[in-house]
Structures are given as C-alpha cells and as structure tokens.
Structure 1
Amino acid sequence: MNFEDENFELREIQRLEGHTDKVWSVAWKPATGINGVSAVFASCSGDKTVRIWEEDSTGSFQCQAVLEETHTRTVRSCAWSPSGKFLATASFDATTAIWENVGVDFECVSTLEGHDNEVKSVSWNNSGSLLATCGRDKSVWIWEVLPGNEFDCVSVLLGHTQDVKMVQWNPSMDTLFSCSYDNTIKVWIEDGDSDDWHCIQTLGESNSGHTSTVWSLSFDASGDKMVSCSDDLTIKVWTSKMQEGDQNAPWEHVCTLSGYHDRTIFSVHWSREGIIASGAADDAICLFVENNDNEVEGPSFKLLLKKEKAHEMDVNSVQWNSGDRRLLASASDDGTVKIWELVRLSGQKLL
C-alpha cells in the first residue's frame, strides 16, 4: 500500500467492556474476518478469565464465551494455534492451559506445568507442531504437540538472566525469539543432529540493541524483518537474510524510532501491509510505515499517526487482524478492549 501524501485516521469503532481487571493481551483468531467468516479474537485479563469476542452481522463485536475457573491468577497471554482449533493461555499461576474450540464451546483439554512461577507468554509455531512458553523464572520452554492433546517438553532454555517477557516464533521457519527484563532478545534454533535447542544470537546493547527491558517483538509477513519495543522508550527494527535458507544468518539493527512515546512501550505488532502499531504506558497508540524517501540511507520508518489518549490507562497490547477490514485491537489497564479501524481522512476504508 502507498502511504505517501495521504492522511489517515485510527477511528475507534467499539469499546468492549466485561473484564473486571486490567486486560493484558489480545489475539485475533486465524482465518476469521475474511470471505464472509466473522472476525473473532480473544482477550485475557487480571480477572483470571479469557473472553472470546465475535463480530456480528452489524459489524459489532459481542462476547460469545468466558473461559474461567481454570486459571487461579492473572491470565497474561493468549495465542491461537494456526488452525484456530486451539487457544493457549499463559497465567501467573505458573500454568499454560490449552483450550479446544468446538463450535461455540471451549474446553480445557490440557494444562502444562513446569515453570516455577508466573508464565508471561505463549506462542505457537507456524505449523502448530511446537509451542513455546516463558516466564518470571528466566526460562523458555519448548513443547512438542502430540496426538490426543498431549504436550511433551522437549527443551528448557536457560540463557536469559532475568524475567522473560515474550516468546515469538518466526512466521517462516522454526526459529524462536525471546525478549527479557535483561534488556536482550535471544534467537534460538534446533540442532538438526542432536535435536538440542541453543541460542545462536543475542541482540543487546553491544549490537545497537535496547538499554532496558524488552517487552515485545513482532515480525513482518515474510519473517525477514522484526520490530521490538522497550522500557528505554524506543522501537527498533531488525533485518536478516534468514529467508535465503540460512537459519544462522545474523539479525542486524537497521533503525531506531524514538521520541514518539514518553513512557514504557509495552507492545508492537506488524500488519501484513507493513504498518507497525505500538502501545505504551502513555496511553497512546502510534502507527509507523516504511519511509520511501530515497535521500534516507538504508531502511527507515516514519510516523503515520499517533492516537493520544487511546485508552484511559496503559495500553498493554496491540494487534492487527488479518481479515478484510484493517482492524486493530488494543487492551488496557483500564479494563477495556478497543477495536479501531484505519481509514483515510476522507472516510474511505482501507480494504
């Protein structure tokens, strides 16, 4: 999409209430919101529940299910399997629950235990054959998905020195990324000979990395670019030649976006068209796009727009959908989820 010389607006289309504590994370269900299939997403909260929201015939979202009485503490992260059949939820109660979606019902079919305390994030690989979790115990766990809703821990990775905030699989290959309170991002791959997982690169201050807690990361559609955000008030973009077949190809810092948020940046997400969204403790959401100015050397990004006071409190999570409408979901400490649509100022929707 061409964003040059265009004016855009992030228009709030719905404010969703129901959670009774801060909302930590949102996750759109794959293959929804397209070809007549209603858009669906999950939200998780400090109220120990997960809510499933579905778009109705009028384009409004309604709560279709509340997943409760499984987790005993905050649910920090949720992630759909690639097929959309399963939803994984990570909790401060030190467990990860696996929910099977059958029709409109959700059943907890497995509970993964092993972390010493709070589980902060959960992520499925692109094929749905592997699941990763991480937590306050400084560890990253990799689980193999087996028939019969069984999960086998195949590796516990202990490279971080502090709380691990997020795990995320590269969308194009089985390479795992983790970001931490120790200010670093680690890149993990499996040794084909020994089946052992190991860290092949650490992105930190020594290679233009972050200087404080790294909260979140996201990949572009191809998987050869990555964006990360931090307590250091910056957003960093990274690139790699991994897609040329070399899983060991290093990730390199290409640009830093700073001065757009004035408090901790908690979440970043890259849309399929290349729009980076960020949410922060300053209650704002920013959108960035690649700068095509030929006078700028190397890849760079520019601010498309900033939505001040997007929420009444911290914005903890932002995520684009992959459906027909350009929708962004945001979750906040104010206990709400908001749905936004990116439109041109003329009012034309981006399809």
Structure 2
Amino acid sequence: MYHGSSIGHGHGQPSQQDLSVVLVTGSYDHEIRFWEAWSGICSRTIARNEAGQINRLAISPDKRLLAAAIHKKIFIYEVAGTSSSPACASQPHSLNPGAVQFHPEGKWVVSGSEDGTIKIWDLRTSHLYRTYENGASVNDVTIHPNQGELISCDQAGVIRQWDLAENSCTLELVSPAGDVPIRSISVAFDGSCLVAGNNKGKCYVWKINDDTSGLPRFQAVTKFQAHNKYLTRCLLSPDVRLLATCSADTTVKIWSIGPSFEFKLEKVLTGHQRWVWDAAFSADSAYLVTASSDHVARLWELSSGETVRQYNGHHKACVCVALNDVNLA
C-alpha cells in the first residue's frame, strides 16, 4: 500500500526511513551508483569493466531489484546485494535498448530498443516471454496503469498502443509534427492523459478516455513548445499536477497541469551545465532528481526550485536515474 514519500524527511544523519529510499544513477563511465538520497553519499558502485554504456534504469516496486538497459541486454541486480555481477541477464536485443520498466507487481520487465522491437522478459525464468515488432527504433515504452497495455514511441514519430491480451498493436497515433522523432512519453498514474515530447522540444497531450465513453480512446487536447532545443525526457508527477521536461538547453522545466489539461510554466530549474537526460519524481511529487552530461545528478525541492543535494562521483555523462521512495505497508 502506498504511504507517501520518505525522500525529504531527513536532515543531517539519515534515518532508517531515509535509508529506505533507493536512488540509483547510471553513466557513460560504465558505472551504476547507489546513493543515500539525503546525505549525498555514494553507498555502492557497480563498476562494469566490459563495454557498454548504461542507457536506462528501473527499480522494482518492492525495491528488491534494479533493471539496467546496457548494450543490447537488460541486466537485473539485487538492490541489497554487494556484487557487481548481475543476478541475471536477458537474451540480447540486436541494438541498444533505451527503455526499461517493471510490471507494477514485479512479474516481468519490458524493454524497447533501437532494433525496433519491444520485448517482455519473465523475471522468474529470465526468458523472453513476448516480442512486439515496432518497425522503427523504439525510444520509450511505458506500461499503462491498467496493466493491460503498453504504450511506445519511436524514431518515426509514431505512438503505438500494444494490447497484452491480444498480443498486438491496437492503435497508432501519428504525431502532428509528422516524422519528427518522439523522444519520450509519460502516462498519468491515474490513466487520465498521455504526454509525448519530440526532438524539436514540443510536447503533445492526449486525454485518455474510457472505452465505453463513445469518444476516441486518445483525444488530442493541447500542444506547446516546452524547449527550443532537443527534448530528452517528459515526466508526469505521481499526483498528476506537474510535468517535468528535460532538454539539451541544460534546463528542467516544471509545468502545472490545470483541470482541463492546461499547462502553465511554473519554474525553470537551472544549475546543470550540459544536457539534462533524465528525471525521476519523489512519490509525493515534492522533489525531482535529474541526471546530466555534466557528470552530476541533482535533487531539487520543487516548492523553492532550488538544488538541495548534489551527487558527485561519475567521471562521464550521467544519463539515467531511478528513484523509489514509496513507503509500503
């Protein structure tokens, strides 16, 4: 059961509650680092000597496992372990996977790759369970909150809905910008809307209707220019009141969301010196962690827009971050 966030509850020495926060970053230096969120201390480093940059990270809902998309494979690590060796590894994609996410009940992991496929991996056996042929290079994939569908976006500017029961693509949304690649997608935790961001810094928003409403399943409601440069990530907050967008312009922008899906720029988070690649909200939507090419990850307090902690230690671009600070009953 969800019981809020623990990331912002500590000052000085971390409490037991603070230590329940799992914060992980990945870098082009081939290292995965675990951090004590409030103290900023690196508590564990997984140093990978073999080739392959870390492209994306995900933490299982129960905080036991970390999935890392690394050079054609998905590696699974024990969060509480001490070994740099993975507990298991998937069969390979033919090209780099850039998206990975756990099923909400931790039964399987989904990955999307530059090879144009979306794959589901059974965590109990580490075997491939299902493959979807997307065609174009997959930039992002997410599990719909109803757990019955996947939604992906790709280099051809197309968003697809994949039905897990039917084992097929059931809907294609072609971006109004045509074949401009869609870099990132985010589905609201309550299933109310979908936000997509493209390579030209533009965001598109669709309302997701119930199948019985008589309206189109995805109904376009608005679009806006979030950044004037390449957009790398768009992310809806758990309470669906905020949208974070990350960009090559070195900034992170925080947008408030109105009742009719109006998006208003609330804050511009400045401090990173190079591209901002990834972001993760705290469970209570009060904090945001970001990862940047300047080698650094930052923890932002969104009420003030200030950096409250900086995570130093990577030697090359820090390109992905994963956070799980949900308190479970």
TM range (shorter): 0.7 to 0.9
Report the 3-state secondary structure (helix = DSSP H, G, I; strand = E; otherwise coil) of the residue aligned with 2:302: strand
Letter in 2 for 1:90: A
Aligned partner of 1:174 in structure 2 is 148
**In the superposition, relative to structure 1, how do residues 153 and 68 fare at CA in structure 2: closer, same or farther (>3 Å)?**
same
Report the 3-state secondary structure (helix = DSSP H, G, I; strand = E; otherwise coil) of the residue aligned with 1:151: coil
Please tell me whether residue 119 in structure 1 is matched to residue 97 in structure 2: yes
Aligned partner of 2:206 in structure 1 is 238
CA contact (8 A) 2:180 2:198 kept: yes
Distance in 2, matches of 1:341 and 1:234, equals: 25
Q: Of 253, 276, 295, which residue of structure 1 is paired with 2:220?
A: 253
Report the 3-state secondary structure (helix = DSSP H, G, I; strand = E; otherwise coil) of the residue aligned with 1:126: coil
Quote how far apart the aligned CAs of 1:272 are.
2.1
Flag structure 2 segments of 5+ consecutive residues without an equivalent.
10-15, 306-329
Q: Of 66, 88, 102, which residue of structure 1 is paired with 2:45?
A: 66
Q: Of 220, 224, 234, which residue of structure 2 is paired with 1:268?
A: 234
CA contact (8 A) 2:150 2:164 kept: no
Aligned partner of 1:132 in structure 2 is 110
Aligned partner of 1:156 in structure 2 is 131
Quote how far apart the aligned CAs of 1:33 are.
2.9
Distance in 1, matches of 2:105 and 2:5, equals: 14
Quote how far apart the aligned CAs of 1:31 are.
6.7
Q: Of 299, 310, 319, which residue of structure 2 is paired with 1:339?
A: 299
Aligned partner of 2:325 in structure 1 is none
Identity of aligned residues (%): 20
Distance in 2, matches of 1:62 and 1:278, equals: 27
The TM-score, its normalising length taken from structure 2, stands at 0.81
Please tell me whether residue 202 in structure 1 is matched to residue 172 in structure 2: yes
CA contact (8 A) 2:48 2:84 kept: no
Flag structure 1 segments of 5+ consecutive residues without an equivalent.
1-29, 293-297, 346-351
| CA displacement, residues 19-41 of structure 1 (integer Å, 9 cap, x when unaligned) | xxxxxxxxxxx975388621331
Quote how far apart the aligned CAs of 1:232 are.
2.5
CA contact (8 A) 1:240 1:251 kept: yes
Aligned partner of 1:213 in structure 2 is 181
Distance in 1, matches of 2:281 and 2:58, equals: 14
CA RMSD of aligned residues (A): 2.5
Q: Of 28, 40, 49, which residue of structure 1 is paired with 2:22?
A: 40
| CA displacement, residues 301-326 of structure 1 (integer Å, 9 cap, x when unaligned) | 1111223x431111111221115x72
Q: Of 65, 70, 76, which residue of structure 2 is paired with 1:98?
A: 76
Distance in 1, matches of 2:222 and 2:195, equals: 10
Q: Of 273, 294, 301, which residue of structure 1 is paired with 2:263?
A: 301
Distance in 2, matches of 1:34 and 1:218, equals: 24
Q: Of 260, 273, 286, which residue of structure 2 is paired with 1:326?
A: 286
Quote how far apart the aligned CAs of 1:46 are.
0.9
CA contact (8 A) 2:5 2:282 kept: no
CA contact (8 A) 1:125 1:171 kept: no
Distance in 1, matches of 2:219 and 2:300, equals: 32
**In the superposition, relative to structure 1, how do residues 327 and 73 fare at CA in structure 2: closer, same or farther (>3 Å)?**
same
Quote how far apart the aligned CAs of 1:280 are.
0.3
The TM-score, its normalising length taken from structure 1, stands at 0.76
Quote how far apart the aligned CAs of 1:103 are.
6.1
Length, aligned pairs only = 292
